[in-house]
Amino acid sequence: MTIIKRIITENPKILVGYSDITALLMAICKMTGLVSIHGPVVRELAAGRQRNWENLLRLLTSSRPMALHLAQGSGLVSGKATGILLGGNLSLICHLMGTPFLPSLDGCILFFEEKGEPLYRVDRMLTQLKLSGRLQGVAGMVAGQFEGCDDRAALEQLLLDRLSDLEIPLATGLPVGHGRENRAIPLGMEAELDVDQMTLSVIEGCVT
């Protein structure tokens, strides 16, 4: 693992992906501290999702901070939080627990998305994360798209039931995941979640 860490650190590359790629993104963040991108993959270019690629290119070439509006979501627990942005596919985050590849979640803003999991499995994953103690130090959480995971109202009620007692800002509506809109988001950079304004903002640009 030390050799792999040295190779990646000495030869940094732009790594972009989502879903199963969550494991690589989080591992690189843990092992090297390098920023990686949760965003669209090449096969989606053929699916007519040009806007996702335009957003990715803007992120990679702009020095301006990035702000995402959670227009299609709900503010479940109000408040504002600042921290390092981490996250990805909920199943993969759970699978990384107990391995050397899950970064510390203390003080972070954690986002998660999922596809094709019935509500009871989402419940199981959230409960596992909570019982592990890994959510105790999280500064804020925001849910992305949950494609094919029962209806939105039931999902939001589940998030409230399982997470509201953490007493941290909690919202839904982040435009990332397996739906048509999959915005590029940098992992490992400082961000601010403002539930009252329904925004997630990366505080500095990826390009300096």
pLDDT for the residue numbered 64: 85
Regions in the chain scoring below 50 on pLDDT: none
Verdict on whether the full-model pTM lies above 0.95? no
pLDDT for the residue numbered 48: 66
Q: Which residues are catalytic?
A: 19, 113, 178
What residue ranges do the domains of the chain occupy?
Answer: 2-202
pLDDT for the residue numbered 171: 98
The answer to whether domain 2-202 has CATH 3.50.30.60 is yes
Q: Chain centroid to CA 116: how far?
A: 18
Q: What angle do CA 65, 160, 82 make, to 5 degrees?
A: 25
Helices and strands, counts by H and E, the chain: 6, 11
pLDDT for the residue numbered 44: 76
What does the pLDDT look like over 101-137, one tens digit per residue?
A: 999 999 999 999 999 999 999 999 999 999 999 999 9
Amino acid at position 70, single letter: L
Structure tokens, 87 = 């996250």
pLDDT for the residue numbered 207: 65
